[in-house]
């Protein structure tokens, strides 16, 4: 994307070339001696690699296609097929054709030897509407070659005991030290410093998928609890504006930082009392796992990887978790 967030007009050529290079290096057409056993493709940007390999007549690697978000499909005009060096017959419902256009992602899903998603529940969801985004039929037919593997987090980078972005480190055995981070977060974000008021944190892309509009709708109700809200993120300009307007309506109670800030994202995970993820769909998500590691209970929609990684608190479920971990 350019500096304004717009797709480059030659994206088909850019990522077609990336996919072609991946295919060449994964076959006996490679100019180097090293040969991979598997060509692992991720999302639409490398989706043509399995297609190129399918039509390569010589020896080639097996192919694996991983979906991180089915909503992004790399759709281009039908003329791109010949322009990118694929045979005309590939432009077919059993190939790269997607509603009279060409889809890089569909190519990968159709031609890859196996498909993975970033959570088991998401692998099930995308086989039906609405989360199949027009590809649910293909994915359902490839069910035997579709596996959901839950994402993991880097517990060296995200560890409250050693995190350099925190004002005070802590562990699960000494959560009282978490309070210093809440106070620091409130001060840094211009919120009223109050240890007793619930502080809800959000670190997210600000768009419809992530449920940002739902968060905006309930913001005034959160303030009346009373509670505080701190948001870090960017994406949709109108949603950014609406969030910024809330900070003016509720000074000291709602704080918003537009953009990306690694240090602040860590402090929000440590300083918030609860972490909000109202995603309409979520292939996996990482922040809910960061939150649990930081002793900040995540409040999430039961969808995708959120359903796989967050368990409702009940005494019965807690007892089961205790038995499993003992």
Residue 218, domain CATH = 3.40.50.2000
Domain count, the chain: 2
Residue 106: domain span: 11-148
Strands (E), the chain: 38-42, 62-67, 75-76, 97-98, 101-103, 114-117, 146-148, 199-206, 228-235, 254-258, 274-277, 298-300
What is the number of residues in the chain? 326
* Rounded Cα distance, 184 and 105, in Å: 44
* Cβ–Cβ under 8 Å, residues 200 and 228: yes
Helix, strand, coil percentages, rounded to 5, for the chain: 40, 15, 45
Convert the pLDDT of each residue in 33-70 to its tens digit.
Answer: 999 999 999 999 999 999 999 999 999 999 999 999 99
For residue 104, is it within any domain? yes
Residues 184, 282 within the same domain: yes
Residues 111, 30 within the same domain: yes
Residues 302, 179 within the same domain: yes
The predicted structure's pLDDT at residue 315: 83
Residues 271, 142 within the same domain: no
Convert the pLDDT of each residue in 148-188 to its tens digit.
Answer: 999 999 999 999 999 999 999 999 889 999 999 999 999 99
For residue 142, is it within any domain? yes
Convert the pLDDT of each residue in 137-158 to its tens digit.
Answer: 999 999 999 999 999 999 999 9
For residue 234, the cross-strand partners are 205
Residues 38, 104 within the same domain: yes
Q: What integer best gives the mean pLDDT of the chain?
A: 95
* Cβ–Cβ under 8 Å, residues 117 and 66: yes
Identify the band that residue 15 occupies on the pLDDT scale cut at 50, 70 and 90: very high
* Rounded Cα distance, 47 and 109, in Å: 8
* Rounded Cα distance, 135 and 76, in Å: 16
User: pTM for this one?
Assistant: 0.90
Task: Give the rounded percent of residues in the chain with a pLDDT score beyond 90.
Answer: 91
Residues 252, 199 within the same domain: yes
Convert the pLDDT of each residue in 81-122 to its tens digit.
Answer: 999 999 999 999 999 999 999 999 999 999 999 999 999 999
Over residues 296-306, mean pLDDT = 96
Residues 190, 254 within the same domain: yes
For residue 54, is it within any domain? yes
pLDDT at 4 over 70: no
For residue 5, is it within any domain? no
For residue 170, is it within any domain? no
Residues 192, 142 within the same domain: no
Residues 77, 40 within the same domain: yes
The predicted structure's pLDDT at residue 8: 86
Residues 183, 136 within the same domain: no
DSSP state of 286: S
Residues 144, 182 within the same domain: no
Identify the band that residue 317 occupies on the pLDDT scale cut at 50, 70 and 90: confident
* Rounded Cα distance, 161 and 108, in Å: 41
* Cβ–Cβ under 8 Å, residues 19 and 91: no
Token duo for residue 76 = 């281009």
* Rounded Cα distance, 283 and 65, in Å: 15
Token duo for residue 313 = 């608190």
For residue 3, is it within any domain? no
Strand arrangement of the beta sheet that strand 114-117 belongs to: 38-42, 62-67, 114-117, 146-148
For residue 2, is it within any domain? no
The predicted structure's pLDDT at residue 6: 78
Over residues 260-265, mean pLDDT = 97
Cα–Cα nearest to 70, from 17, 125, 32: 125
Q: Exposed (0-12), middle (13-18) or buried (19+): which is 133, by Cβ within 10 Å?
A: middle
Residues 201, 320 within the same domain: yes
Token duo for residue 307 = 């359903």
């Amino acid at each position: 994307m350019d500096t304004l967030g717009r797709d480059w007009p030659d994206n088909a050529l850019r990522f077609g070339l990336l996919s072609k290079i991946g295919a060449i290096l994964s076959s006996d057409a490679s100019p180097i001696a090293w040969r991979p056993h598997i060509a692992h493709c991720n999302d639409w940007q490398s989706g043509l690699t399995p297609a190129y390999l399918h039509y390569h007549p010589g020896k080639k690697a097996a192919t694996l296609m991983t979906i991180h978000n089915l909503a992004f499909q790399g759709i281009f005009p039908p003329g791109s097929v010949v322009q990118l060096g694929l045979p005309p017959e590939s432009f077919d419902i059993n190939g790269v054709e997607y509603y009279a256009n060409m889809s890089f992602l569909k190519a990968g899903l159709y031609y890859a030897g196996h498909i993975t998603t970033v959570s088991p529940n998401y692998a099930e969801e995308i086989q039906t509407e609405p989360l199949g985004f027009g590809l649910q039929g293909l994915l359902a037919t490839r069910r035997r070659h579709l596996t959901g593997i839950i994402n993991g987090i880097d517990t060296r980078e995200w560890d409250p005991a050693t995190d350099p972005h925190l004002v005070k480190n802590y562990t699960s055995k000494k959560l009282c030290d978490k309070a210093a981070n809440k106070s620091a977060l409130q001060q840094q974000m211009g919120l009223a410093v109050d240890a007793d008021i619930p502080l809800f944190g959000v670190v997210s892309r600000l768009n419809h998928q992530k449920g940002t509009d739902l968060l905006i709708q309930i913001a005034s109700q959160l303030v009346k609890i009373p509670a505080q809200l701190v948001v870090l993120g960017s994406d949709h300009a109108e949603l950014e504006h609406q969030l910024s307007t809330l900070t003016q309506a509720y000074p000291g109670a709602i704080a918003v930082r537009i953009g990306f800030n690694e240090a602040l994202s860590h402090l929000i995970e440590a300083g918030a009392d609860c972490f909000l993820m109202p995603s309409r769909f979520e292939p996996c998500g990482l922040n809910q796992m960061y939150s649990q590691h930081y002793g900040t209970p995540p409040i999430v929609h039961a969808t995708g990887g959120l359903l796989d990684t967050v368990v409702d608190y009940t005494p019965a479920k807690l007892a089961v978790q205790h038995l499993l971990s003992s």
